Amino acid sequence: MRTSRLALFAATAALVGLPLAAAPAGAADGDELTAELTQLNDSGASGTAWATVDGTNVEISLETQGLLDGAPHAQHIHIGGQNTCPANDKEGNGFEGALQTSDGADEYGPIAVTLTKEPGMTGAEHGLDVADFPAEASYSYSRTIEVSQEVAQQVANGDGVIVVHGVDHDGSGEYDGDTKSDLDPELPSEATDPAACGELNPAQMAMPHGGVETGGSSTSGVEYPAAIGFGTLALALGAFGLVAARRRATI
């Protein structure tokens, strides 16, 4: 069991040792990345993640739902493998074929950044600092983390995969069972099995902030009286007015 944990960390070291190959077109500094988190192990968990890279600072936020309540959820940015998520129905070496963390390493690689709460440590070697993780069924997490230049570059390129861990396979309401974790034999496998996964990809736009004020009187200011006149006219003309306007616009 120890060996798979060691293998994961060895893979991290190997990755860091690699020269920075010509990266595919990714996000530039300050661009946003997003991930849609979907369940692994039929956990019922889901969520979203958002990140932006500024130099060697990665600002990241997570919103999750459907996790086991009252139990810590280890969460990381994984980098490596194919930088993807395994399918929800992928089976592994865990409880009744459950996917353990190392069973998904071909897809998402080893831990690169540990997403602990302040002031927890964020290096890969702190991947199981269980006291520092969120422990609710649904939570909002946000933190800015200093990482190496390589990791910053990889995250900006869209190579990061968010993995949230902790699955109550037997529905007992807590992490238990005879299967030991592939990451730490002191822990039940339920505590570290992956529950949700999402690939951090560069957003295809500068994402607007806040809701959209497309209501009626929510448009205030100088233009409003003009809108009243036009609105009445448009109503009177009905579809004809719109068609006419459309012709003008497309010529």
Partner 1 sequence: MKPLRASEPTAVRIPSIGVESPVHGLGLDEEGRLQVPSGELYDQVAWYDGSPSPGEAGPAVLEGHVTGAGYAPSVFFELGATRRGDLIEVDRADGSTATFKVTEVKSSPKDEFPRVDVYGATDGPELRVITCGGTFDKEAGRHLDNVIVFAKLVTG
Binding site for partner 1 (CB under 8 A): 33-36, 48-50, 63, 201-220, 223-224, 226-228, 230-232, 234-235, 239, 242-243, 245-246, 248-250
Which two structure tokens, joined as six digits, stand for 104? 């998904």
Contact 102, 37 (CB under 8 A): no
* String marking each residue 62-101 x if it binds Cu ion according to CB under 5 A: --------------x-------------------------
- Compute the 3-state secondary structure of the chain and give helix, strand, coil in percent, each to the nearest 5: 30, 25, 50
| Host H or E run for residue 111 | strand 111-114
- The smaller minimum CB distance to Cu ion, of residues 13 and 23, is found at 13
Check binding of 169 to Cu ion (CB under 5 A): no
Check binding of 45 to Cu ion (CB under 5 A): no
CB-neighbour burial class of residue 55 (10 A; exposed 0-12, middle 13-18, buried 19+) = exposed
Q: Phi and psi of 25, rounded to 5°? A: -55, 120
* Interaction partner, residue 246 (partner 1, Cu ion, none; CB < 5-8 Å by kind): partner 1
Residues in 186-205 that interact with Cu ion by CB under 5 A: none
* Interaction partner, residue 87 (partner 1, Cu ion, none; CB < 5-8 Å by kind): none
Q: Phi and psi of 54, rounded to 5°? A: -130, 100
Give how many residues touch Cu ion by CB under 5 A: 2
Q: Phi and psi of 75, rounded to 5°? A: -140, 140
- The smaller minimum CB distance to partner 1, of residues 16 and 242, is found at 242
* Residues linked to residue 169 through DSSP beta bridges, in sequence order: none
Q: Least distance from C-beta 212 to partner 1, angstroms?
A: 5
- The smaller minimum CB distance to Cu ion, of residues 154 and 212, is found at 154
Q: Least distance from C-beta 224 to partner 1, angstroms?
A: 8
Q: Least distance from C-beta 20 to Cu ion, angstroms?
A: 23
Contact 32, 210 (CB under 8 A): no
Check binding of 163 to Cu ion (CB under 5 A): yes
Q: Least distance from C-beta 129 to Cu ion, angstroms?
A: 12
Contacts of 25 (CB under 8 A, 6+ apart): none
Site residues (vs Cu ion, CB under 5 A): 76, 163
